[in-house]
Amino acid sequence: MSISAESAESAAISTERAPRPQQAVHGRLPSLTGLRFIAALLVFCYHSSLALPALNPFASEDVSDGYRWLSSNAGWAGVSFFFILSGFVLTWSAREGDRPRHFWRRRFFKIYPNHLVTWVLALALLSGSATQWWQAVPNLALVHAWIPEFTVFLGVNPPSWSLACELFFYLCFPLFLRWIKRIPAAHLWRWAAGVAAAVIAVPALAYLLLPANPPMPEGSPASVWQYWSVYMLPPVRALDFVLGMLMARIVLTGRRFTVKPLPAALACVAAYALSLYVPWLYALDAVFVVPMALLIPAVALMDTSGRPSVLRSRAMVWLGEVSFAFYMVHLILLNVVRDILGPDRYFGTAAGIGVLLAQMLLTLGVAWLLYAAVEKPAMRRLGRSRKEPARNESARKEFA
C-alpha cells in the first residue's frame, strides 16, 4: 500500500478562493498525511478481526462476530484510499524537468527497504519453514500480485501485494502524467467520471466472464480468479491511481470543485455501510471509489486554503509519517502476539479491547523504529543520485 509521508511541519498556501483555470496550486498537504493513518488503521482493524487465522481476541462469539462483520471491508477501503491518494499526491508534487529515472529511484528507495526488512521478518518469525521458493522469490521481487495463485499473491507478508501494484504505478507514472496533461482542462471531469465508471464495471465483468473456481479460502463468495482480477491485478488497480491523478489535475487546473471535507467523509461512511450489503466483489473497491476520489481533493483544498484541520495536528502528521511502516509490520506483529498468547487464549470484551489497543501501540512503536532506522535513512542516502539536481526540501518530501 504504497505509501509514504510528509514532515510534521505544515506550509500551506493561503488563499480563500479557488484558483483560476490553468493557475497551478501547490503546497504541502499535511492533512492528507494525517488521513493516511486512519486508512492504515482500517487495514489493522480488518486483519485483527480475522477468525482464520485466529487474530480476533474476543471470547464472546457475538462480540467476535460483530467485530469481524464491522471490520470485514475495512482493509479494502483502506487500500482503495491509498491507491487513489498515491496518484493524487504524485501528480500534485510533480515538477517540470524531473527525469523519470530520478523519480523511479526516489520511489523505489521509498518502498523497497521497508519491504525487504519486513520480508525477512515475516520469513523468520512466521512462515519461513512453510514458504516455498516459488512463493518467496516473487514476493521479494514485488511481482507476486501478477500471479493468480492465492499462496503467492498473499504469501510471506500479505500486505506487500499492494507494493507490487505501487511499483507498477510508479513505472507507468511518467507516461500517465504525459497523457493526462494533454487532456483539456474542460474535459477532466468527464475523464474522471469515465475512469470511476470503469472501476465500478470491473466486478460485473469478473462475475460475468471469469470462472467461479477455484473458490477463495474461508468460504468467500468468489473464485480466486475473480478476487485476483478485481482486487490484486496491477493494471486493474491502476484505474484507482489514474483517478487520483485526474482529481489532482482537476484541482491544479482550477476546475470547479465545491465538495467540502465533511460531506465527502460522510459519503465515505455511507459507502462503507453500503459495502456490507452489496455483492462481495463490489465491496473490494467499486463502492468506495467515488466518495474517496472526492474526499482527497476536498481535504487537499482545506490545506491550501489554510482552513483549520485536526488532521494537520502534530500527532496526526506523525502518525501519518509512520503509517507506511505501520502498514508493513502490523500483520506480522498481530501473528506474533497471537503465537505468544497461544491459539486458545481469548478475552472478555473490555480485555479484548485492551489487547487490540496494546497491539496497536506495539505496532506503532515498531513502525517508528522501522521509519527512523530504515525508511528515512534509505530515502536520505539512496533516494537521490549525485547527478540529480537538488530540489528544495518541501518538494523532496513527497508522499504516496
The predicted-structure confidence for 323-358, as pLDDT tens digits, reads as follows 999 999 999 999 999 999 998 899 999 999 999 999
C-alpha–C-alpha distance, residues 163 and 139, integer Å = 10
| Region 378-384 average pLDDT | 89
What pLDDT is stored for residue 6 in this prediction? 34
Q: Does the pLDDT at position 287 exceed 80?
A: yes
Mean pLDDT, range 260-275, rounded to an integer: 97
Phi-psi region of 399 (alpha: psi -120 to 50; beta: other; left: phi over 0): beta
| Residue 233 pLDDT exceeds 70 | yes
- Residue 27 vs residues 22, 131, 145, 157, 365: alpha-carbon distances, Å: 16, 45, 33, 35, 30
- pLDDT value for 177: 97
Q: What is the pLDDT of residue 5?
A: 34
94-141: per-residue pLDDT in tens?
Answer: 988 899 999 999 999 999 999 999 999 999 998 666 889 999 999 999
Q: What is the DSSP letter of 388?
A: S
Phi-psi region of 97 (alpha: psi -120 to 50; beta: other; left: phi over 0): left
Tens of pLDDT, residues 45-65:
999 999 887 899 999 999 999
**Hey, is 215 helix, strand or coil?**
strand
DSSP character for 313?
Answer: S
CB atoms within 10 A of CB 125: 13
Nearest alpha carbon to residue 138 among 172, 105, 115, 113 = 115
Res 14: pLDDT: 30
> Does 24 have pLDDT greater than 70?
no
The pTM for the full model equals: 0.91
Share of the chain above pLDDT 70, in %: 88
Grid cell listed for 84: 487513489
**DSSP alpha helix (H) spans, the chain:** 30-48, 61-70, 74-93, 100-122, 133-140, 150-153, 161-181, 188-209, 224-227, 234-252, 261-275, 280-283, 289-304, 314-321, 323-341, 349-370, 376-382, 393-396
Mean pLDDT across the chain: 90
Query: What are the residue ranges of helices labelled H in 123-260?
Result: 133-140, 150-153, 161-181, 188-209, 224-227, 234-252
| Separation CA 108–CA 172 (nearest Å) | 13
b vs e for 152-163, b when ≥16 Cβ sit within 10 Å of the residue's Cβ? bbbbbbbbbbbb
C-beta neighbour count of 276 within 10 angstroms: 12
CB proximity list for 269: less than 8 A, separation 6 or greater = none
pLDDT digits (tens, 9 = 90+) for 135-187: 999 999 999 999 999 999 999 999 999 999 999 999 999 999 999 999 999 99
How would residue 391 be classed by pLDDT, with cut points 50, 70 and 90?
Answer: low
- What distances in angstroms separate CA 264 from CA 58, 64, 298, 389, one per listed residue? 33, 30, 7, 39
What pLDDT sits at residue 53? Answer: 78
Which carries the bigger pLDDT value, residue 22 or residue 377? Answer: 377
Question: In terms of pLDDT, which residue wins out, 213 or 1?
Answer: 213
Answer whether residue 294 shows pLDDT above 90.
yes
How many angstroms separate the CA atoms of 285 and 76, rounded?
7
pLDDT in the model for residue 96: 87
Instruction: Assess whether pLDDT exceeds 70 at residue 387.
Output: no
End-to-end CA distance of the chain: 9
- Percentage of the chain beyond pLDDT 90 is 80
259: amino acid identity, one letter: V
| pLDDT tens readout for residues 73-95 | 999 999 999 999 999 999 999 98
Q: What pLDDT, on a 0 to 100 scale, did the predictor assign at position 28?
A: 79
Q: Does the structure show a pLDDT above 80 at 397?
A: no
Nearest to 142 by CA among 249, 266, 2: 2
